[in-house]
Each structure stands twice: as structure tokens, then as C-alpha cells.
Amino acid sequence: MSEQKNMSITLKVWRQKGPKERGRLETIPAEDVDPNMSFLEMLDALNEKLILEDKEPIEFDNDCREGICGTCGAMVNGIPHGQGKGMTICQLHMRAFNDGDTIVVEPFRARAFKVIKDLIVDRCALDKIIQAGGYISVNTGGAADANAIPIAQETVEEAMDAAACVGCGACVASCPNASAMLFVSAKVSQFALLPQGRPEAYTRVLAMLKEMDNCGFGNCTNHRVCESACPKEVSIIHIARFNREFLKAGLFSRLPIKKSGG
């Protein structure tokens, strides 16, 4: 197999000094890019060069750099996290591009995600939805108690698939309505499927939906782009479960109900 040579890339990167400033795409050449670098390593190398030239480095979010934390995220050529299937931008490698390519890099865009600087957006709205109901507050006992409750393997797998959501917001950025429904449904599902999550299931689904609306996310109109954009391949099956949970909450909960999402 022939080794891929270092590449010259032209980046068109969104530069924005702050939330209230106007942003614009800036063209920055990236020379001598090792194809084995990750996308974020390429930005690191470019930033070192920009700093040496006394220019502002490109601000971007990152932490684990192995697809676990959900901190990273940007639109690469219009696709959340880039064209790699089932991967975050920190897992994307430069070998996915060709010498001479122009790559457009922009922040995730949604009304609920304010741009803080360059590629960094404020995704606190997702945390607010979790604070509204994405937890269990009943006493579930210790690990031994959990192990004593038999749960079908299929159900466990499905709950784990929902729990794989890392809260990156790519589903929101890809949705024409900037809906957070895939995220919310994954969080609702991971608890709704397990006995420990059932006691608060109805209050949870109502509270999380209300907070999603309050935060300014749009409604789900079944475009399904969220599913293909999700780096954890969270399925829209969870949105169907969310809708069933919502209907059950309407029948069995005493809380007032107003639904606009889903």
C-alpha cells in the first residue's frame, strides 16, 4: 500500500470574536498536513503557526479526543463532525481528505447554541434539559440490589445504546428545525427502559420536553437527519419511545401537559 504524502489544505474557518460580534469565514492555508493527524491535531498545528505569526489562534472545544466526552463538535463541509460515519470530529483523520482540498469549518448553528468564539458554541441548554429530569432521584439501592433485578438482555442493550449519547449537539445542528428531540429521547429512553427509571418516567418526559421548548429548540418533523449525523448512531426508535412515554404521561400523570415537540 502506497503511503499518502503530506497535503496542502485550504481552510475556510468561521472567525467570530464574541457572541455579539459579526462572524465571517476566513481563508487560512494549512501546509504540510500529515494525513495521519486527526482533524483537531491539524488545527493544533495550524494554531501554533498562527501564534508564531502573532495572529489569533482558532478557538475550538475539545477534551477527551477519543469520542467519549462530547465536548468537540463543528460543521465540516456542512456536516456535523465531518463525513466519517459514527465518529466525532476528534476521531476524524486528515487521510479522509485529499491534497488540495478546501475544507469549510463552521460552528454548530442553532438558536439555542450561541456562538461564544470561532467554533465554540454554548451548549448549556442541553445541560438544562438534563437538570429538568435526566436523572433518577428515587433510592435504587446498591449495586447488589441492581444485580438482583432480572432484566432481559435485549432491553439492557437498548438502554445502553440510548446511554451512548454523549450530548454533543450534532443532532440539533443537523436538524432543519434545530430540534433536540434525538438527544432528549435518548435520555428519556435510557431510564424508561429500566425498572429503576420507571417511578419518575412520566414527570421526567414532561419536564424534559418543557425545558427543551423553553430553551428555544424546535420541534421534530421526522426529517431523520439527526440519526445520520449522530456520532453515536443513536436511533430515532428512541423518538418513537419518547412519544409513547409522552402519551402515557398524558393518561397517567397529574401534571398539566402541553406538547409542541415530537
**Restricting to residues 204-233, which ones interact with ligand SF4 according to CB under 6 A?**
229-232
Task: Choose the one of ligand FES, ligand SF4, none that binds residue 182, judging by a C-beta under 5 to 8 angstroms depending on kind.
Answer: ligand SF4
Task: Choose the one of ligand FES, ligand SF4, none that binds residue 115, judging by a C-beta under 5 to 8 angstroms depending on kind.
Answer: none
Number of residues that bind ligand SF4 (CB under 6 A): 15
Q: Confirm if 241 and 191 have CB atoms less than 8 A apart.
A: no
Q: How far is the CB of 173 from ligand SF4 (least distance, A)?
A: 8
Interface contacts to ligand FES, rule CB under 6 A? 62-65, 67-72, 88, 90
Rank residues 105 and 132 by Cβ distance to ligand FES and give the closer one: 105
Rank residues 14 and 108 by Cβ distance to ligand SF4 and give the closer one: 108
Q: How far is the CB of 183 from ligand FES (least distance, A)?
A: 15
How far, in Å, CA of 28 to CA of 57, rounded?
11
C-alpha cell at 18: 464574541
Q: Confirm if 116 and 122 have CB atoms less than 8 A apart.
A: yes
Q: Confirm if 188 and 245 have CB atoms less than 8 A apart.
A: yes
Rank residues 67 and 218 by Cβ distance to ligand FES and give the closer one: 67
**Restricting to residues 151-180, which ones interact with ligand SF4 according to CB under 6 A?**
165-171
Q: How far is the CB of 1 from ligand FES (least distance, A)?
A: 28
Task: Choose the one of ligand SF4, ligand FES, none that binds residue 169, judging by a C-beta under 5 to 8 angstroms depending on kind.
Answer: ligand SF4
Task: Choose the one of ligand SF4, ligand FES, none that binds residue 230, judging by a C-beta under 5 to 8 angstroms depending on kind.
Answer: ligand SF4
Task: Choose the one of ligand SF4, ligand FES, none that binds residue 68, judging by a C-beta under 5 to 8 angstroms depending on kind.
Answer: ligand FES
**Binding interface with ligand SF4 (CB under 6 A):** 165-171, 182-183, 186, 229-232, 234
